[in-house]
Structure 1
Amino acid sequence: MVKINKIYTRNGDGGETHLVGGELVAKDSLRVKAYGEIDELNSHLGLIRTLEEKTKKKDLLDMLSKIQNELFDLGSELATPPGASWDGMLRISDEHVSRLENWIDSLMNGIEELRSFVLPGGSKINANLHIARSVCRRAERSIIELSRSEEVSDSVLAYVNRLSDLLFAMARFESKRSGAAEYLWEPGKE
């Protein structure tokens, strides 16, 4: 269990932070950037989860809760440089990716095929799911950039890619569920 007794340490005031295992790195390093963007994504999902709790519909709550916890595991994995891992360390696996795929298939069941690209909006939850999807794609790009110079699990890369797909599926599901308009891109519209 994690225990946090003190909010500030002053250790990072000079622009550096410690990774898991104690290595000191710049706060703008690729590894810190990658897990920082996962943290930002998790915050957006917390907002969506709060909005979802205020509705009487609870369809997405269990998924969001599970994902938020897994993003902490994923962030921990990204904060652990090669050689600093330990036996029993929580890791994102292919099973996590498969579960996201199953959720996507379930959510998309009965939703009509698109005739154009979807524009974010229609409801607060829909718009926020699209923001989270965009943040997820940014995090994915940062993780890919990190993977070009340091080892990153293939399962982590697949998980983040699939998660953005799931967030898109959730947004489409939310539009259908709430009866909100689904805005479609109209090329050249003035």
Structure 2
Amino acid sequence: MGNRLSRIYTRTGDDGSTGLGDGSRVGKDSPRVNAYGTVDELNSTIGMLLAADGVDDEVREALTQVQHDLFDLGGELCIPGMALVEDSDIERLERILDSLNEPLPPLKEFILPGGGMAAACGHLARTVCRRAERAVITLSRTEQIRTQPQRYLNRLSDLLFVISRVLARASGHGEVLWQHERRRKPSAT
């Protein structure tokens, strides 16, 4: 990294624009800024998950690597034409996903977000991940974007779902199942 920040504020964004990694300037509300900003938000929610009690070493190691990947993914989105996320990153997520999902019982009901603080943080990260994926798709409708960022986020949201299941079960709270039968059929009047 060539430049280090000695001052945090520059005032260059006071007009509602921001600089991309290639030196060009765009509006802070542009689809590109929205996409990499949402990836940054996702990285922060994973940081919250890692700060929660009850995250075992296997999950902690996987999520720490994910945070590094997300920083790369954000860089790829911030620098038009850059390629930082690779197919091997997606394949690694799939291996971790398969490993964590294999011992879990099959799903028979929908799961509500919850199951302890760590699991709830995992579900929050999953929903932010889906939003980041949608932002990348929106960006790809107007600008050339490689498929790897979208595929990475799609697989990561699946991984975060499985991690939330693992954490809920390990916490002793268990998974919170949607009770679809709680609604009674309307009575005929």
* TM-score, with structure 2 as normaliser: 0.91
Residue 10 of structure 1 is matched in structure 2 by 11
TM superposition outliers: structure 1 runs of 4+ over 3 Å: 54-57
Alpha-carbon distance between aligned partners in 2 of 1:27 and 1:137, rounded to the nearest angstrom: 21
Q: Which runs of 5+ in 1 are unaligned?
A: none
The sequence identity of aligned pairs, in percent, is 44
Range moving further from structure 2, 100-109 or 58-67: 58-67
Residue 100 (structure 2) pairs with residue 135 (structure 1): no
Alpha-carbon distance between aligned partners in 2 of 1:56 and 1:150, rounded to the nearest angstrom: 38
CA deviation string 1:3-35 (max 9, x = no partner): 222111111111000111111100000000000
Query: 1:130·1:167 contact (CA, 8 Å) conserved in 2?
Result: yes
Residue 96 (structure 2) pairs with residue 103 (structure 1): yes
Query: 1:111·1:176 contact (CA, 8 Å) conserved in 2?
Result: no
Aligned-residue CA RMSD (Å) = 1.4
Residue 170 (structure 2) pairs with residue 177 (structure 1): yes
- Superposition deviation, residue 179 in structure 1: 2.5
Q: Which runs of 5+ in 2 are unaligned?
A: 184-189
Alpha-carbon distance between aligned partners in 1 of 2:40 and 2:110, rounded to the nearest angstrom: 28
Q: How does 1:1-190 map to 2 (within 5 A)?
A: 1=1, 3-51=4-52, 54-55=53-54, 57-82=56-81, 85=82, 91-190=84-183
Q: Which of the pair has more CA radius of gyration?
A: 2
- Superposition deviation, residue 40 in structure 1: 0.4
Which amino acid is 2:71 matched to? F
Alpha-carbon distance between aligned partners in 2 of 1:56 and 1:146, rounded to the nearest angstrom: 34
Number of aligned residue pairs: 182
